[in-house]
Amino acid sequence: MSVQISQEQQYINAVMAKLPEIKNKKEHTLKKGESLWSLAKQALHQNATNQEISTLMLMIAKLNNLTTIEKMNNLKASEKIYLPEDCVDKNGNIKRELNASEKTALDVLHTLQTDENLRLQDPFSYCNPGRLYHVYNKHKYPSGFVSHSHPVTSISMNKDGTIKTLTFNDSNKKFNPWGYDYELRSDGTLINSYTHKPCGQLSKEQMEEILTTSQNLIDEFNNKN
């Protein structure tokens, strides 16, 4: 007697058959309310499509031999499952994929930490000292032109001397012709500076790192001047 398989199960079987085998994995303990779908969604970027979420969900299911709809839907809190290593941090928590604005912010951080050609400028020192800093570096454009004043970021300060915002352009393309593309606020929120809408969120640790790096550059600049 043949067993009838639902169309949904047939689709799952077909997709799983084409998914790659995951070699590197980490253990994760399920929390109350977590499902394969919510784990996949949490691990992807904010603008992930349902198709992307579904594919990652089935990759996680395949990794754990959860090959039927019933098995996928019957998970319980405190159960241990495996997730792809890239989805989990060192503490076993879900590590979300960064979107374009968040990756750009961390690219800026990397530049601030490693570029030996950085140059700071306080353009309003004559009327408003220490409130705005521009950071430039050396950059070679595809045309061959080399600029020694290529903008990296601008840093605005609060009255108490702490960093208020960092503004910078997108890593891949400049989509705001009238100014910087992104504004990074001191709570880690990224704003599309053209529409002034939230477009990302850095973690507390990432934000502390970029603030500390920027503050060290400013302190070094002020000590020289």
List, for residues 69-86, the tens digit of each pLDDT value: 999 999 999 999 999 887
Whole-number Å distance between alpha carbons of 141 and 132: 27
Whole-number Å distance between alpha carbons of 159 and 222: 16
Confidence of residue 96 (pLDDT cuts 50, 70, 90): confident
pLDDT tens figures, 23-62: 888 889 999 999 999 998 888 876 778 888 898 999 999 9
| Average confidence score pLDDT of the chain | 86
Range with the lowest mean pLDDT among 2-11, 170-179, 186-195, 206-215?
170-179
Q: Which two tokens stand for residue 103?
A: 């990756």
Q: Is the pLDDT of residue 182 over 70?
A: yes
> Strand (E) positions, 141-196?
146-157, 163-168, 182-185, 189-192
Per-residue pLDDT, 73: 92
Whole-number Å distance between alpha carbons of 165 and 139: 24
Whole-number Å distance between alpha carbons of 186 and 190: 9
Per-residue pLDDT, 176: 61
Q: Are 71 and 79 in contact (CB under 8 A)?
A: no
Q: Which two tokens stand for residue 104?
A: 């750009």
Task: Calculate mean pLDDT across residues 115-126.
Answer: 78
Per-residue pLDDT, 122: 78
Per-residue pLDDT, 178: 62
How many contiguous H segments (helices) and E segments (strands) does the chain have?
Answer: 6, 9
Per-residue pLDDT, 124: 59
Q: Is the pLDDT of residue 128 over 60?
A: no
Neighbours of 101 (CB within 10 A): 24
Q: Which two tokens stand for residue 191?
A: 């704003």
DSSP state of 188: S
Per-residue pLDDT, 127: 52
pTM of the model: 0.64
Range with the lowest mean pLDDT among 36-40, 130-134, 168-172, 177-181?
177-181
Neighbours of 199 (CB within 10 A): 21
- What is the residue whose two structure tokens read 């570096």? 137
Q: Are 193 and 175 in contact (CB under 8 A)?
A: no
pLDDT tens figures, 131-146: 889 999 988 878 888 8
Q: Phi first, then psi: what are they for 171, rounded to 5°? A: -65, -35
Q: Is the pLDDT of residue 130 over 70?
A: no
